[in-house]
Amino acid sequence: ALALTSQAALDNQGGRLLSDAGVTLKGASLDNSRSGVISAKGAVDIRTGVLDNSRNGGIGSNAGITLVAARLDNGQQGRISAKGLLDANLKGLDQRGGGVLVSETGVTLDLNGGTLVNRDGGLIATPGALLLRQLGAVDNGAGGEISSDRAFTLAAAS
């Protein structure tokens, strides 16, 4: 397994963090933008203040993914995909411009009263259960898609 903990910022812009087991990353912020790749055969656990996975960033797991962050920027073709459960506890999610958040098992997204922007081609999808809770506001316009083949639960203020 690959584990990295830092009190400072973690920078993986254009870099590659690969593991045949799991990946655990903890830091003040994590920049995985500009085609950065974080990939594991095991579980991925990321806990940070701001997670930037925009501009073709990729986070993938053959198991589950747990994300805990104040804000996640997954826009401009960012991609987060898991074969297991994708569990995200955030305070804001921006998927503008083709961001993809998908799981083959299920997606749980808790925004703690924050805003979900999924417009301009953003995609949140799973063939399993999809649970979106504590959303302060949702912008899913201009080609945004939020979908599930099974149960879909949404709790939002607006």
Enter the pTM of the model: 0.96
The Cα 100–Cα 77 span in angstroms is 7
Of the candidates 71, 88, 62, 59, the residue with the CA atom closest to the CA atom of residue 28: 71
Predicted pLDDT of residue 154: 84
pLDDT band, residue 8 (cuts 50/70/90): very high
In order of 9, 42, 104, 111, the CA distances from 6 in angstroms are 7, 21, 31, 24
Task: Give dist(CA 87, CA 121) in Å, integer.
Answer: 21
pLDDT tens digits, 29-84:
999 999 999 999 999 999 999 999 999 999 999 999 999 999 999 999 999 999 99
Token pair recorded at residue 145: 């898609």
pLDDT per residue as tens digits for the range 102-139 = 999 999 999 999 999 999 999 999 999 999 999 999 99
Evaluated on CA atoms 113, 67, 16, 31, the torsion sign reads: positive
Confidence of residue 157 (pLDDT cuts 50, 70, 90): confident
From residue 49, give the alpha-carbon distance in Å to each of 30, 131, 140. 8, 23, 24
Angle, CA 149 vertex, CA 21 and CA 101 arms, to 5°: 45
Q: Is the dihedral of CA 81, 82, 86, 89 positive or negative?
A: negative
